[in-house]
Structure 1
Amino acid sequence: MFLNCHSYHSLRYGTLSIKQLVEQAKTLGIKELVLTDINTVTGIYDFKKECEDHGIKPVPGVEIRKDGRLLYVAIARKFSGIGEINKVITDYNCDGKELEEVAPEFKEVFIIYPMSNIPSELKDNEFIGVRTDELNFLIRPEYEKYISKMVVLHPITFSTDEEYELHKILRAIDHNTLLSKLTKREVCRKSEYFISGQQIAKSFERYPQIIENTNLLLDDCHFEFDFKEVKNKKFYTKSKENDLKLLRRLAYSGLEKRYGLNHEIAGKRVEKELQVIDELNFCAHYLITWDIIRYSNRMGFMHVGRGSGANSIVSYCLGITDICPLELDLYFERFLNLNRQVPPDFDIDWSWQNRDAILEYIFDRYGKDHVAFCGTNVEFKYKSIFREVGKVFGLPKEELDDLTSKSTQRDDSNSVVKVVEKYGKLLEKFPNQRSMHACGILISEEPITHYTALEMPPKGFPIAQFDMNVAEDIKMEKLDILSQRGLGTIKDTVELIKKTRGIDIDIRDTRISKDEQKASEYLATGNTIGCFYIESPAMRGLLRRLKCDNYRILVAASSIIRPGVAQSGMMREYIFRHNHPDQFEYFHPIFEEHLKETYGIMVYQEDVLKIAQYFGGLSLADGDILRRAMSGKGRSIQKLQEVKANFFEKCIEKGHSEMLTAEAYRQIESFAGYSFCKAHSASYAVESYQSLYLKVYYPLEFMVSVINNQGGFYRTEVYIHEAKMSGGIIQNPCVNESEYQTSLQGKDIYLGLMLLQGLETRIAHGIVEEREQNGAYQSLNDFIRRIPVGLETIQTLIFIGAFRFTGKQKNELLIEARLLLINFKPENRGLLLIEEPIQEYRLPRLERNFFEDAFDEIEILGFPVSCSPFDLLQTRYRGSVFVKDLLQFHKKQVKMMAYLIARKHVPTKKGTMYFGTWIDVNGNYFDTAHFPDSLEKYPFQGGGCYLLLGIVEVDFHFPTITIHKMAKMPFIPDPRYAYDQEKQYDIHRQIKEDVSMTFRKPYPQEHEIGLPRSKTL
């Protein structure tokens, strides 16, 4: 009887989860249920599973609405009907095709029109839905003739009075209006909750044919769907046989290139993998990935194949990955084994600059009807919940800010606030909107609308209406097409080296990407600022503690830096064992046998599988379930509990004590959730070495590229500092020398116009393009003639020194700009007053304080360029100890003057603590720890220089200062605001006389001539 049920996937409308919906139906003894969320099929696959678990027949459908108005309910007679409905929704979402009042021709779909939208004619598959509160209309002659085509329509949207109020709140949020201003048309009826079938039958007892029509419709509907059949594209060629032939040929061709002729071990590994790949029908997945990489290489793009795919030697031979599985003893079964029923997960990174080109190729190559991004549900988050709910109750901004910034556990007498908090909590975990998965691409054999409707986000690539978990459930595995800025930095550096030095660098050469001597020296000392993945304070500290001077140690470091590993205490233990390999005992002989390379510690996800298999006696399949469940890739808590129980049972059978077993499981638990697979860490390590090599031998080109890629752990100022420490001469932006991005001329690094806060991107590009087309700017006057800018933009450029080529002081240029633009209108650009013959005027000598430039730079760039932050301090004290000497002060108190580079907060049981990164006056980096008790008395007060007092702790070659006291040091007074009133008046009077004589008109007032912020002339 329930042909029109909404879940919370009817965004900002329904209040029931799929699970709640089905459980309530089960409680009432309902045997058949139709899910018809509004314009979406997001929940139908979870719905099918949930219904079958509860002994209910599931039927999928969609409620079609346009501008909030119900047009009709579409119910799939069989699964192909869902594809028909999906096509209609997709055409509307992606192609702008209007939703018509009357449903299109459907082959396997039943249509139910509401009483408010009855068409002139009804097709065989079309019916009219009647609600219980509409039965009185049936006595009218105009409706009586339709009774033979009527069915029961009892929509389900909520279950309690409280949820009805929640529904209204959701509708108000959706309409961005006050709750009190909602109209009846914008909310559901108060009757849209479950009642028993007997109640419905009693309501319709005078119209048994309507009951019969409803039952016949439900009986004719079937939701047949095979969750086990893979839905991805089946063949790259035209058949499985041809796919295998092509894959084999490519694999052996790559084998010869990678290993040379007659490499017996590699050859056997390739053959073994090909057999498994073929048996699991994964040839097409490999070939599609190879095809994408082939296109990427043809276009000259850099990529990194990472993740467990790098465990495969076939991936290595095809060029998908650049990690040799034999060298690192990577095990193929972590990636693919005969127990695995889903396609392997290739994770491939491109530069953020090239990713869209790769995506366009995939959509064009495999057909827009077969390719889509995986979707994701964006849930209501804590802060947004209270802000959204508070708005519909009419709370002012101040109270909304208070709500989102304070804990809800408080004594508040404001009744409205209590209501907001009450319903806000109910909204937690509710989907708020659908969005695009960051990187997951689906490529299907059948048209993708066979399984899902598509939506078109602003990004321009269609997205499926279900998320990655549902995609995996229905056996439609995603291909991860990722982007990062590290690859962009490497690519740009190589190109810049070619441009500035004429040197071609093959950055993929393994002699560069692994164990290069000088790069390894930098690595061991943590000199890695700007390098992919290894530049953060925590990672630099780890590298120094390990004295990491080779590729293998870097691979391990890339995994143990992960949060769960560090929190479990195993990272600390690994550091100890690495530094003292003869001062520890293995947890168990099995750990020594299988984890000797990592001192008996689980460092990689493969280690979890090894211990689960050899220590716990689990099968490889159960070990993988354990790993996936702990890493969040398995959604079944029950399955995880089963595997855990099996692990403990098998351990006891093998003779392990309960205490030993519990500790082994604890270590598995801490690692499996956060650690990398070894191949993933190895892939990252290669890219880290590549960027480090460029930093070591071509530091200026490298740092310029880091700045231009806007990436990394630190702000731009830090990378500029690194460039300066490497011998670069930093030049402020100049309209005649600077590009849009930062550029390199010899040792001169011209900061890019893109770094100027407040300068429009369009103007910045225009300055460069006009200069390239028509030559350098000869003067401020010439610039204003050629570039359509207003006074505010001109002032920004003047203050940063972009017109220093004129030889005039900034103050003189400011007045000149005012005079040029005094009567300026955009439409009269060619008729500037300055073009008229005018009498020469003379400005008085305008003195300027040296530090004014630094304060201009701070205001416009965010940091000083012309001097060091230490030069701006009121004190000349620079500390009693410097970074170069810290190792000598273990357990001793030091006092240092330092400039804050970065800070990170970490919650603890006693409150929030911070880790700080600083530079001393010599430009060298060091780190600090700030505990809650210290921060309470001596908190951070924003960026700048601080006087620090603390105790040095040297931990395995790495010094950290535990701060006891700190104070932010004041800068000198901003000289731009300090001036002599009488002197200023005299200058103003002189300018007034000169300008008045020149233009023969009244002298403009000070605010007109634009002495900004009363700056010193």
Structure 2
Amino acid sequence: MLNHHSYYSFKYGVLSPAEWIEWALEEGEEVLALTDINTSAACIEFSRRAREAGIKAVAGIDFCKASERQFIALARDEEAFAEMNHYLSTRLHQDLEAEAEAPLEKAYVIYPFDRAPKRNLRENEYIGLEPKDLNKLRFSPLKNQSSKMVILHPNSFRHKGDYNTHRLLRSIGENCLLSKLPAEKQAPAQWGLLNSRKLKALFSEYPEIISNSERILANCNLDFEFKNYSKSLNRIHYTDSLTGDREIIRSLCYNGLEYRYPNAGPEVYQRLEKELDVIEKRGYYSYFLINWDIVNYARRKNYFYVGRGSGANSLVAYLLRITDVDPIELDLYFERFINLSRRQPPDFDVDFSWRDRADVTRYIFERFPKASLLGSYTTFKYRAIVRELGKVLGLPGRDIDELSRARRQGGKDWDDMQKLVLRYGKRIEDFPNHLTVHASGILIPEKDISYYGSTFLPPKGFPTTHFDMYTAEDIGLHKFDILGQRGLAKIKEAVQLVKQNRPEAKELDIHQVQNFYKDPKIKDMLREGQTMACFYVESPAMRALLRKLRADTYLGLVAASSIIRPGVSASGMMAEYIRRYREPERRQYIHPKIGEILEETYGVMVYQEDVLKVAHFFAGLSLEEADVLRRGMSWKFRERNEFDTIKDKFFQNCAERGYSEAVSTEVWRQIESFGNYAFAKGHSASYAVESYQSLYLKAYYPLEYLLATINNGGGFYSVETYLNEARLAGGIVEAPCINRSEMEAVLIHPQIFLGLQMLKELEEKTAMNILRERHMNGPFENLNEFLERVEISLEQCILLIRINAFRAMEIDKKKLLWEAHFILGNAKKSAPVNELFRNTREKLVLPELESGEHEQAVDEIELLGFPLSSPFQLVPELPEGCIAAQDIAQHIGEEIRLCGYLIHVKNVTTRGQQARHMMFGTFLDQAGHFIDTVHFPPVAERYPFQGKGIYLIRGIVIEEYDFVSVEAKYIERLPYVNFEHA
């Protein structure tokens, strides 16, 4: 049993590793070799599942060139596995296919019968025979080499359905109709499953071949260790020894005490020594020091970063400046991050600016040469399945679109071909489609990564593993999470702009956030939900929550950052938290002990740490056991059966403490419903720090901050919405200008000139030519001179004219268009003219040209995606009787009419037996102020949104804890002017 393909043979195999193990158990197989095509992606997972089932797993790779097998390699031991992976990785990195003969010395190599080398085979090389090759063998010159032959039947398909699925996958891979799939691009139909008994019967005339096959399998003894976190596969020492690591981390921590706690009390020193003791016992000095090394590099480069997640629960991380959250101030449990009972490795999440992340990643790979990016897989999902299967089966586009929209409508009368798509679509749903890169994970192992798997080279240019994060965790490889974030780039660039434009702010230190917590202006912004453009607190839901809570403190914002999460909201705890926050007299606790434990959050579980507190102080579990419970609840690990490991003890302890079954069951229900999506408190606190930095800049330097927001791609809303916010802050938004604009938007107080990169279809090369010429030789004086100095095509020049980029020198766009056509003529491009050879062109005399009232707005919508003037001006006649957004609160309970410009829609499915669709809308009125609407299912179904534009809204004003919104009864998208006659 030397050759099996799983579905990790992408767009080829049809059985998962689990299905292979299930088959082996049914057939009584004791050993099984997994040999996926040009990948070792499944080897570790297959080995884990095989061990759990009591089956011996053999790791192999089927090396193919195009669709033609060259040879199969099987790992005798870890050195052979590393050799196989290194060879495959080298070929993949260089975009080379497998060679006809293997340069492998440690792994077993098996050549197909018809591709056997015409030379003497080495000790580790063999010839593989399929049953169909037996007749050929009798007449082959190789018939006397049975000592170097083994059985090589490719086990691939259980039945015809599997084979049909394989052919469909191959058609998708080859991007051709199933009817046009070449025979050589698909496996032969006879590659069905044959167990070892059937294979031995077929090869009964050749006992030596059978014994050779069995001997090879017996000699393959690669054995991964799973969940053995006492044996680290990661870089063991940051220096060259444990002593060296201990000395450097203690030195850094005690230096950090001077920075973080100038007057540290004994509780700080006790906590520090306790953490260092646990970190040393778990062997994590290197992990902390590598993270310190990375953020230390970032500080040297003046890169902004945020260390978040449960790592913020560590005082050591705070002292090393990996995080900026004080775990003592917030009473954060170190056990949430690391404890002696937690098997899984720690996991720091460090966010960098999206502009800086690439350089940080480059540094990591230069500093730690064995580093690899962590791989991941995209899987087949419904829409992609319908599209791909429909295409290879030759369905018309309309049928594919109908299936895509109709997500498994069982009652639909589909035709035979559509039914075929749905039937086989169910077979391949969630199959791995192709390898990709994990969003943030980097591995830094002690040994070369090839000991655990092969790597490929994605466009990022760094080696990336064929296995994913779950496999890495299985064997104890912990990842370093290096993420990119636009919010940090906004803050960094806003600070730079402030220091350039505001001499009084030269000493601004955005990291001294303690002062921001007490700032009265920021407190007002938080209470009123005036948080547009501010990190993590600008969404409609977050603005509404801030209004309801009237939260204006750091801890209040930390709590809001957590209860907004889906799991907390869906469990009803968000509503309960708001009620208890706003109405102290109505606070009731399921048990007095819960009220005592969760006093800070009014008896409601808000953070992951609250689960630890309740499990520890209420149910009497140790903090280590409580963390097992918390981790077991996570959706990422529930399928690994970790959820039930501690549940029985929870209820047993509750009963011993005299709690009623009803109380224990309700507390468990809250834990269970809450734990899936809750934030660690340190994670929320990290986000809150960044939110305060954004709020401060927005409060005191709004134009600089909003400019940085625009240049970093906006945020929750579109760039247009942030331009409106800039206008409210006193800014004047200008279209791109050839003499004032740069590639990105620039601020020349109070004007904001949009960048040339915002102009759709303007080529980057053209924009760079314009800027380079202007910076070298000064501003342009007129269109004629511009065309003499800048190489540009007529089409590109017309884009600039239509957006009014020449308005400083000529306001008549139509006149400029005529001149551009006259000067460029039929030339594909103008070319810069040497000063000596410039001729004065004949002046073009034009009659008076007329322009439509809305012509500029029409051009702006086409070229920028939105008008720079008010979109309300594009409605021929606005309805009468509409009130302004600022007056809505005066009409609680009344029916009103409003006009709003749609900027965001949130779609929601109601809970219950009959789930229905409802929506929340966010609009701007003519003054640029928010209108929030709710559309319950009957209204959502009868009056759906019809895209961007101005809407007439009729509805009832409702209020919930100071948050005012409109329950829509009717909406209508108002028509714009006829652009053809604009």
TM-score (norm 2): 0.97
SS in structure 2 of the partner of residue 394 of structure 1: coil
**1:342 partner amino acid:** Q
Q: 1:572 aligns with which of 555, 575, 595?
A: 575
The Cα of 1:97 is off from its aligned counterpart by 5.2
The Cα of 1:187 is off from its aligned counterpart by 1.4
The Cα of 1:293 is off from its aligned counterpart by 0.8
Match of 2:326 in 1: 324
Mapped to 1, the partners of 2:756 and 2:639 lie a distance apart of 52
Mapped to 1, the partners of 2:623 and 2:444 lie a distance apart of 29
Task: Indicate if the aligned counterparts of 1:36 and 1:62 stay in contact, CA closer than 8 A.
Answer: yes
Match of 1:487 in 2: 488
Specify every segment of 5 or more residues in structure 2 that has no aligned partner in the other structure, as ranges. Answer: none
The 1:173/1:665 distance shift into structure 2, 3 A limit, reads same
Match of 1:775 in 2: 778
**2:474 partner amino acid:** D
Match of 1:703 in 2: 706
**2:221 partner amino acid:** H
SS in structure 2 of the partner of residue 582 of structure 1: helix
Task: Indicate if the aligned counterparts of 1:883 and 1:926 stay in contact, CA closer than 8 A.
Answer: yes
Q: 1:784 aligns with which of 759, 778, 787?
A: 787
Mapped to 2, the partners of 1:665 and 1:960 lie a distance apart of 35
Higher deviation after alignment, 243-252 or 409-418: 409-418
Match of 1:902 in 2: 904
Task: Indicate if the aligned counterparts of 1:530 and 1:706 stay in contact, CA closer than 8 A.
Answer: yes
Moved over 4 A (4+): 827-832, 834-839, 876-879
SS in structure 2 of the partner of residue 813 of structure 1: helix
Corresponding position: 1:340 with 2:342 = yes
Higher deviation after alignment, 883-892 or 134-143: 883-892
The Cα of 1:879 is off from its aligned counterpart by 4.4
The Cα of 1:511 is off from its aligned counterpart by 3.2
SS in structure 2 of the partner of residue 457 of structure 1: coil
Q: Deviations over 1:519-541 (max 9, x none)?
A: 11111111111010000000000
Task: Indicate if the aligned counterparts of 2:374 and 2:464 stay in contact, CA closer than 8 A.
Answer: yes
Task: Indicate if the aligned counterparts of 2:819 and 2:844 stay in contact, CA closer than 8 A.
Answer: no
Mapped to 2, the partners of 1:145 and 1:103 lie a distance apart of 23
Match of 1:239 in 2: 241
Q: How does 1:73-152 map to 2 (within 5 A)?
A: 73-96=72-95, 99-107=98-106, 109-121=107-119, 122-152=121-151
Task: Indicate if the aligned counterparts of 2:591 and 2:663 stay in contact, CA closer than 8 A.
Answer: no
Q: How does 1:985-996 map to 2 (within 5 A)?
A: none
The 1:803/1:897 distance shift into structure 2, 3 A limit, reads same
Mapped to 1, the partners of 2:888 and 2:154 lie a distance apart of 72
Match of 1:300 in 2: 302
SS in structure 2 of the partner of residue 541 of structure 1: helix
SS in structure 2 of the partner of residue 14 of structure 1: coil
Q: How does 1:715-754 map to 2 (within 5 A)?
A: 715-754=718-757
Match of 2:972 in 1: 967
Corresponding position: 1:948 with 2:950 = no
Match of 1:209 in 2: 208
The 1:510/1:827 distance shift into structure 2, 3 A limit, reads closer
The Cα of 1:838 is off from its aligned counterpart by 5.3
Task: Indicate if the aligned counterparts of 2:824 and 2:830 stay in contact, CA closer than 8 A.
Answer: no
Q: How does 1:51-66 map to 2 (within 5 A)?
A: 51-66=50-65
The Cα of 1:966 is off from its aligned counterpart by 1.6
Mapped to 1, the partners of 2:465 and 2:214 lie a distance apart of 32
The Cα of 1:935 is off from its aligned counterpart by 2.4
Q: How does 1:460-471 map to 2 (within 5 A)?
A: 460-471=461-472
Task: Indicate if the aligned counterparts of 1:137 and 1:143 stay in contact, CA closer than 8 A.
Answer: no
Mapped to 1, the partners of 2:569 and 2:665 lie a distance apart of 19
Task: Indicate if the aligned counterparts of 1:756 and 1:861 stay in contact, CA closer than 8 A.
Answer: yes
Q: Deviations over 1:682-720 (max 9, x none)?
A: 000000000010000000000000000003100011100
The Cα of 1:825 is off from its aligned counterpart by 3.5
The Cα of 1:321 is off from its aligned counterpart by 0.6
Match of 1:192 in 2: 191
Q: How does 1:277-288 map to 2 (within 5 A)?
A: 277-288=279-290
Q: Deviations over 1:876-917 (max 9, x none)?
A: 546443222222222111111211121111112452111011
**1:372 partner amino acid:** S
Task: Indicate if the aligned counterparts of 2:13 and 2:156 stay in contact, CA closer than 8 A.
Answer: yes
The Cα of 1:750 is off from its aligned counterpart by 0.6
The Cα of 1:336 is off from its aligned counterpart by 1.0
**1:580 partner amino acid:** E
Q: Deviations over 1:49-88 (max 9, x none)?
A: 2212222111111111122210100001112211000000
The 1:435/1:635 distance shift into structure 2, 3 A limit, reads farther
SS in structure 2 of the partner of residue 113 of structure 1: strand
Q: How does 1:839-988 map to 2 (within 5 A)?
A: 839-865=842-868, 867-877=869-879, 879-908=881-910, 909-974=914-979, 977=981
Task: Indicate if the aligned counterparts of 1:574 and 1:599 stay in contact, CA closer than 8 A.
Answer: yes
Mapped to 2, the partners of 1:263 and 1:292 lie a distance apart of 29
Mapped to 2, the partners of 1:177 and 1:91 lie a distance apart of 30
**2:433 partner amino acid:** N
Task: Indicate if the aligned counterparts of 1:486 and 1:711 stay in contact, CA closer than 8 A.
Answer: no
Higher deviation after alignment, 900-909 or 441-450: 900-909
Mapped to 1, the partners of 2:348 and 2:730 lie a distance apart of 41
Match of 1:542 in 2: 545
Task: Indicate if the aligned counterparts of 1:230 and 1:342 stay in contact, CA closer than 8 A.
Answer: no
**2:239 partner amino acid:** T
Match of 2:524 in 1: 521
Q: 2:618 aligns with which of 603, 615, 620?
A: 615
Match of 1:182 in 2: 181
Higher deviation after alignment, 880-889 or 380-389: 880-889
Mapped to 2, the partners of 1:70 and 1:31 lie a distance apart of 26
The 1:172/1:877 distance shift into structure 2, 3 A limit, reads closer
**1:384 partner amino acid:** A
The Cα of 1:512 is off from its aligned counterpart by 4.2
The 1:151/1:949 distance shift into structure 2, 3 A limit, reads same
- CA-based RMSD of the aligned residues comes to 1.8
SS in structure 1 of the partner of residue 646 of structure 2: helix
The 1:878/1:667 distance shift into structure 2, 3 A limit, reads farther
SS in structure 2 of the partner of residue 903 of structure 1: strand
TM-score (norm 1): 0.93
Task: Indicate if the aligned counterparts of 1:10 and 1:40 stay in contact, CA closer than 8 A.
Answer: yes
Mapped to 1, the partners of 2:732 and 2:925 lie a distance apart of 20
SS in structure 1 of the partner of residue 888 of structure 2: helix
The 1:161/1:217 distance shift into structure 2, 3 A limit, reads same
Task: Indicate if the aligned counterparts of 2:931 and 2:965 stay in contact, CA closer than 8 A.
Answer: yes
SS in structure 1 of the partner of residue 518 of structure 2: coil
Task: Indicate if the aligned counterparts of 1:512 and 1:689 stay in contact, CA closer than 8 A.
Answer: no
Task: Indicate if the aligned counterparts of 1:132 and 1:154 stay in contact, CA closer than 8 A.
Answer: yes
Q: Deviations over 1:2-34 (max 9, x none)?
A: 101111111111110111101111111111111
The Cα of 1:420 is off from its aligned counterpart by 1.2
Match of 1:1007 in 2: none
SS in structure 2 of the partner of residue 639 of structure 1: coil
Task: Indicate if the aligned counterparts of 1:255 and 1:267 stay in contact, CA closer than 8 A.
Answer: no
The 1:827/1:948 distance shift into structure 2, 3 A limit, reads closer
The 1:798/1:879 distance shift into structure 2, 3 A limit, reads farther
SS in structure 1 of the partner of residue 57 of structure 2: strand
The Cα of 1:451 is off from its aligned counterpart by 1.0
Task: Indicate if the aligned counterparts of 2:513 and 2:692 stay in contact, CA closer than 8 A.
Answer: no
The 1:691/1:413 distance shift into structure 2, 3 A limit, reads closer
The Cα of 1:643 is off from its aligned counterpart by 2.9
State the aligned residue count. 971
Match of 1:415 in 2: 416
The 1:156/1:653 distance shift into structure 2, 3 A limit, reads farther
SS in structure 1 of the partner of residue 981 of structure 2: coil
The Cα of 1:977 is off from its aligned counterpart by 2.4
Mapped to 1, the partners of 2:167 and 2:210 lie a distance apart of 31
The Cα of 1:334 is off from its aligned counterpart by 0.7
Q: Deviations over 1:330-378 (max 9, x none)?
A: 11111111112333111100000000000000000000xx111111111
Match of 2:684 in 1: 681
Task: Indicate if the aligned counterparts of 1:346 and 1:479 stay in contact, CA closer than 8 A.
Answer: yes
Higher deviation after alignment, 914-923 or 530-539: 914-923
Mapped to 1, the partners of 2:959 and 2:42 lie a distance apart of 55
Q: How does 1:310-321 map to 2 (within 5 A)?
A: 310-321=312-323
Task: Indicate if the aligned counterparts of 2:137 and 2:143 stay in contact, CA closer than 8 A.
Answer: yes
